[in-house]
Amino acid sequence: MTTHSAKNLRSPLSEARGLGSSKYGTEHWWHQRLTAIALVPLTIWFVIAVISHLGADHAQFTAWLKGSPLSAILLILTAGVTFHHAQGGMQVVIEDYVHVEWQKLAGIIAVKFLCYALAAACIFAVLKISFGA
């Protein structure tokens, strides 16, 4: 049992929570790793897919996504996981550099909203093409 002395800087409640100076647990860290692992194969596929469609005209490009549901699914996964990883990563960057509470919150909210909006736009675009617009 630890005694609560002047050298021990944590309150008994903070010690019981076991979260250090954090306001929450390991979820954020875990999500950043989970998305990072998923992004390794996804981005390698994405780079190859982009290279093989460089300079494609509209008909060729849309034919690709219409003809290959697997490519459409991988593209949706790439976009979704990328934006999830991006909003989590940007949150950490903002938390590290912005120290006025309202500005920090405003920044995090703005970045997250932007990421979710861009993710929705990307996914909708791929679906629209592959379902034959």
Partner 1 sequence: MANGSSRPLSPHLQVYRFQWTMALSITHRITGVGLVLGTLLLTWWLVAAAAGPEAFAKAQKFIGSGMGLLLLFGWTWALFYHLGNGIRHLVWDAGYALDLKNAELGAYIVAGASLGLTILAWIVGLAVW
Binding residues for ligand HEM, rule: CB under 6 A, are 32, 36, 39-40, 43, 82, 85-86, 89-90, 92-93
Angle at 128 between CA 123 and CA 130, to 5 degrees: 95
Site string for partner 1, 43-82 (x = CB under 8 A): xx--x---xx-xxxxxx-xx--x---------x---x--x
Binding residues among 84-103 for partner 1 as defined by CB under 8 A: 86, 89-90, 93
Whole-number minimum distance, CB 82 to ligand HEM, in Å?
5
What is the DSSP-derived secondary structure letter of residue 24?
Answer: S
Q: Write the DSSP assignment of 109-128 as a string of letters.
A: HHHHHHHHHHHHHHHHHHHH
Q: Which amino acid is at 48?
A: I
